[in-house]
A and B are shown apart, each in its own frame.
Chain A
Amino acid sequence: MKSRDPSRASSVPPRREGEERDWSVVVEDGRAKTNEPVSSAVAEPEATTLRHEPHEPPRQHLPTKLFEKRTKVHNKRIDGPFRRFKWFVMFVTLAVYYGTPWIRWDRGPYAPDQAVLVDLANRRFYMFGIEIWPHEFYYVAGLLIMAALGLFLVTSAVGRAWCGYACPQTVWTDLFQHVDRFVDGDRNARMRLDAAPLGPKKFSKRTFKYTIYLIISFWTGGAWIMYFADAPTLVRDFWAGEAAPTAYITVAILTLTTFTLGGFMREQVCIYMCPWPRIQTAMMDEKSLLVTYKDWRGEPRGSVKKAQKKPGKFGDCIDCLQCVAVCPTGIDIREGPQVGCITCALCIDACDKVMADIGRPRGLIDYATLEDCENEANGEPTRSPWKAIFRPRTIAYFLIWGSVGLAMLFALGVRSHVGLSVSPDRNPPYILMSDGSVRNSYTLKLRNMESRPRQMEIAVEGLPDALMWTDTIGRDDAARSQIKTVPADQVLSVRAYVIAPEGTSTQEFNFRVTSRDEQQESATTETRFDTPGGEQ
């Protein structure tokens, strides 16, 4: 790269005769900058803002790497409070996922008895006592808004807790890593096995491991389709080969994705594929909790022996690399917050254990906010991490989140279980009858959202002297209102004919539908009566 600004080039300090320049150090504005890559753990904060000036001599050139070979993560077993919490969340989320379709819920004879069911064929969504129709899809939109706000809330309060504990990618990766450990042994054994040539022992171990992978993956894919049909029936049909092709294809795809993403891709998904780490980076601030290495306490690193020899020279970090060994994404937390860190806090467990062993206080790696880190480094008082959760931003998120939820609950509570939509015929808009009266035709859709058949009365409101009949009730029985029985949980389409005497002008009127039961629910829809006379 050439210098783009020749005037700046003249500002290079003149070299003295005979002096051999050290090209690994560039001096600009009286400050030395190195050409060697430096870990952020030891780099000065200004390193990120110190820029290489165009006139500066070429820096050391790293070999061009277009593609990076993945280093496989073999995370070590660890026990501690965070690991136990992770076990708990994993158990709960997996139980919810695998178990929910099997919960039964009695809805009477006209509706399915599965507690959570997305009935795509009949266009109904059942969730325990709630039944959602397609026209009420805004509830689903509301749920998605709540989910998004929930993630905002969690992220601004406790950082990437979703990534660390509850994300399906994390949970399944964790599960598969436990399988690795169960079959191949812990970190060192797995690394040895990986390096070993493929012999009968390695082959049988691999086969065994991949079989377990496949079983888990198949189970995961299979559980998914249970949400879309009656689970016990579907299981029977599935094994009898009578389920829909979609079911088999879905299971095959999900088995494959679980097998690949959980068994092999693992942290690559978090680092390269998932957008959420990037979004979260923008949503966290200096008041958000994250897993941090307290470098002012740990640096410089030195073993216990070195520290005994030269007390006071070394920090608390003994460079045992336990935090790296237990990390499920294979990062070094001591390099600072990074996109690969899912804040699962296993390194906290590992470090606390080491600190306890060597008799130093816990929390060299800990949940802390950046603000507290700064205060602590300067020796100022810090706040408890719990207090970091309550601040205006999180409270605001919580209030918005809560009000969306309450608004939805309210709407759900007061929604009507009858509905009426009217579409008047526009071709022709009206029919002149032989006695001079005018007939209009309408297609009415009567909606019965109860899981029992209901009698409903359709009445004409307004439009004096008008009479109506339908496609099943003849003109001889024309009246101001008619009664129809709408099947349980269905929409009944009714052709309605409204006739008004000669001389009626074009005007708006209402159809009203009223359920003929204790609820007496009703719905009104305005529509138009067209006549040759036009409007008055």
Chain B
Amino acid sequence: MANKRIDEPTGTEFVGHEWDGIEELDTPMPRWWLWSLYATIVWGVIYVILYPAWPLVNKATEGVLGWSSRGELAEEMSVVDQARATVREELARIPIERLPENSELFGQAVAGGRSAFQVHCSQCHGSGAAGSQTLGYPNLNDDDWLWGGDLKAIEYTLVNGIRAPGVDDTRMSVMPPFEGAFDSDQLTAVTNHVLSLSGKATSTASGAQLYQDNCSVCHGPSGEGNRELGAPRLNDAIWLYGSSPEQLRTQILNPKMGRMPHWSGRLDPVTIKMLSAYVWSLGGGEEFVEVAEDPAVEVDEEP
């Protein structure tokens, strides 16, 4: 390192680099800088001892504190679960008829139901609960309900399912297939009558007659449907399986009937209650017709 040159005004050596006459001085570092380097080394050693550090084949060294990010997550999750415990207790205690009266609890039930819906229901009904016309999954946002749209009816559907095999109390009804029952003209006439109920076609006397004889028992004389039987309304704008004459004909001859699994054994009652509240809150929820005035339904104070 001979021939190191010295900057005259400062008495400091040059590094030897030069850019357009500007040269770099080799100004010595302050000594405390060195100490801070040693301090970081000491810190690094302590850290390696205390925390997970060296990656091994399957896992990293564990560190004497036993800390892990998964463990921390589990801890935080259990804190959240504990915080939810009171809400779940309250929800377990309150009958669903009384739930709307407690708007705070109701809000929490809706929020809980929203996340449960994404896990258990969105596969068929979609993440926005809009269902699917092509696959025949009902839209839960609208004001049309096959089996009833008050909280209790929704909860019943969730618990028992629809046409769920092996469930005694499941929502059950069967539309008979009319394959071979109508000739082509009759089929056109009855299809036109069904469409005329919502003003989409003009009816004929024969069509009206055929409807009265074959359909009105379940779907009602003017197509108002029957929720006891899960018979859809035919005089509104909502068509689960499509409203074109061809789709109607297919549905009459060889009806599709939706199924929904029962959730009684798979989800706990509180989650079902939260799901009911969520579905009800989507904008089409109906008020209780009779239960609301029934003073016999009391809040069960015991959990």
Contacts and interface: CB of A to CB of B under 8 A. Distances in A.
B247 to A, nearest CB: 16
A61 B4 contact: yes
A8 to B, nearest CB: 14
Given A66-B28, A439-B283, A441-B283, A39 B9 contact: yes
B221 interface: no
Q: How large is the interface on B (under 10, 10 to 19, 20 to 34, 35 or more residues)?
A: 35 or more
B34 A67 contact: yes
Contact of B3 (A58, A64, A68, A336): A58
A376 to B, nearest CB: 22
Given A43-B9, A47-B9, A67-B28, A433 B128 contact: no
A432 B3 contact: no
Contact of B9 (A33, A48, A268, A471): A48
B2 A62 contact: no
A230 to B, nearest CB: 26
A37 B2 contact: no
B19 to A, nearest CB: 13
Interface of A is mostly: loop
A502 B237 contact: yes
Contacts of A441: 141, 283
A38 B11 contact: yes
Contact of A431 (B23, B30, B283): B283
Interface residues of A, number: 48
A435 interface: yes
Nearest to A469: B283
Given A38-B8, A43-B8, A47-B9, A432 B142 contact: yes
A67 B30 contact: yes
Given A434-B233, A471-B281, A59 B6 contact: yes
Interface in A182-209: none
B139 A428 contact: yes
Given A432-B238, A435-B236, A64 B1 contact: yes
B6 A427 contact: no
Nearest to B13: A62
A95 interface: no
Contacts of A427: 126-128, 130
B5 interface: yes
B236 A38 contact: no
A425 interface: yes
A410 interface: no
A52 B5 contact: yes
B6 A62 contact: yes
B296 interface: no
Contacts of B21: 49, 51
Interface string B1-41: 11111111111110010000101000011111110000000
A47 B238 contact: no
A33 to B, nearest CB: 8
Given A1-B2, A59-B3, A431-B283, A67 B128 contact: no
A34 B8 contact: yes
B143 A68 contact: no
Contacts of B8: 33-34, 37-38, 43, 47-48, 50
Nearest to A45: B9
Given A37-B11, A432-B142, A433-B142, A70 B30 contact: yes
Contacts of A51: 21, 23
A64 B176 CA distance: 101
A100 B266 CA distance: 59
Interface in B56-84: none
B150 interface: no
13 contacts: A35-B6, A47-B8, A50-B8, A68-B29, A268-B30, A427-B128, A428-B129, A428-B139, A432-B139, A432-B142, A434-B142, A435-B237, A502-B237
Given A59-B4, A427-B126, A472-B103, 12 more contacts: A47-B8, A62-B6, A62-B11, A64-B1, A67-B30, A68-B29, A265-B32, A428-B128, A428-B139, A428-B141, A431-B141, A432-B238
